[in-house]
Structure 1
Amino acid sequence: MVETLLNNINRLLHHEDMGKLLLRLAVGGLMLFHGLHKLIDGVDGISAMLMAKGLPGVIAYGVLLGEVVAPLLIILGVLTRPAALVLAFTMVVAWLMVGTAKTWQLDAVGAWAIESLAYFFIGALAVALLGAGRFSLAGNTSWR
């Protein structure tokens, strides 16, 4: 009886393409809020951090690629795997810029201090490995 119930639940919830869509919406959609913030308020803060590390401040505009363009592509399911890799790379850079000192720390409410960086990095890697799935604006082409 339990096995029959589990088989019915598994059959009912077996929708890989819908799962891929939900993952794309979560990873791309939530990251897009970070990017929109930088579109509205600018990248001056990031530019200052880069210059403090001896790097050219103009590199800060790359964050718009990783936090606006890549998430939009992920959401739409267009160039999904490359866009997800760009997002993952962006999270590595963010960790190197602001997260390395916090890697082994908890925040004020007991969460891992870099959990959002880790979530977006791992989520982006999952999207890169799974691809867009059937629900993609690119349709069934190599562009998804």
Structure 2
Amino acid sequence: MADNIAKLILRVMVGGMMLFHGIHKALNGIGFIKGMLSSQGLPEMLAYGVYVGEILAPIFLIIGWKSRVWAAIIAFNMITVLYLAHGGDLLSLGAHGAWAVELPMFYLLSAVTILLMGSGKYAVMRD
């Protein structure tokens, strides 16, 4: 029983926290993401994928519908963030001596954990 509660807490935590990032982008736009993509020679249209990775995926992760799929999408989103926004920061310290990429790595590794463990008993659709 404790395993399933832990999986629920992890899903709600990752999905809930990521959803705030998506809401912020929905309210304030994704122009900065378009700029990062075009500077890498990638189409700006790909920036709209952030809404899938930071709004849809978190919602479905929270309710536990196909959690492994949505966790994989969040993990891919975080790999993209690490590449586009933090490529040179992997071995750097940020503000206050913290690892410069600790937040994206937290989301990435948490999503990978959900991908490996599944949604647990308390989910709309167990996987």
What is the TM-score with the length of structure 1 in the denominator?
A: 0.84
Residue 116 (str. 1) matches residue 103 (str. 2): yes
Q: Deviations over 1:77-136 (max 9, x none)?
A: 001001000100000000000111111111121110000011000000001111111111
Residue 87 (str. 1) matches residue 74 (str. 2): yes
| Ranges in structure 2 where 5+ consecutive residues have no aligned partner | none
Aligned to 2:4: 17
- Kindly provide the amino acid, as one letter, of the partner of residue 24 in structure 1: R
How far is the alpha carbon of 1:52 from its aligned partner?
Answer: 1.6
- Give the distance between the partners of 2:37 and 2:87, measured in 1 at CA: 15
Residue 78 (str. 1) matches residue 65 (str. 2): yes
- Give the distance between the partners of 1:75 and 1:22, measured in 2 at CA: 9
- Kindly provide the amino acid, as one letter, of the partner of residue 133 in structure 1: G
- Give the distance between the partners of 1:135 and 1:59, measured in 2 at CA: 33
Residue 98 (str. 1) matches residue 94 (str. 2): no
- Give the distance between the partners of 2:6 and 2:39, measured in 1 at CA: 42
Larger Rg belongs to: 1
| Ranges in structure 1 where 5+ consecutive residues have no aligned partner | 1-13
Aligned to 1:49: 36
* % identity of equivalent residues: 37
- Give the distance between the partners of 2:3 and 2:93, measured in 1 at CA: 34
Identify which of structures 1 and 2 has the higher relative contact order when contacts are C-alpha pairs closer than 8 Å and 6+ apart. Answer: 2
- Kindly provide the amino acid, as one letter, of the partner of residue 32 in structure 1: L
The SS at the match of 1:135 is coil
- Give the distance between the partners of 2:38 and 2:116, measured in 1 at CA: 34
The SS at the match of 2:96 is coil
How far is the alpha carbon of 1:137 from its aligned partner?
Answer: 2.1
Deviating runs (4+, > 3 A) in structure 1? none
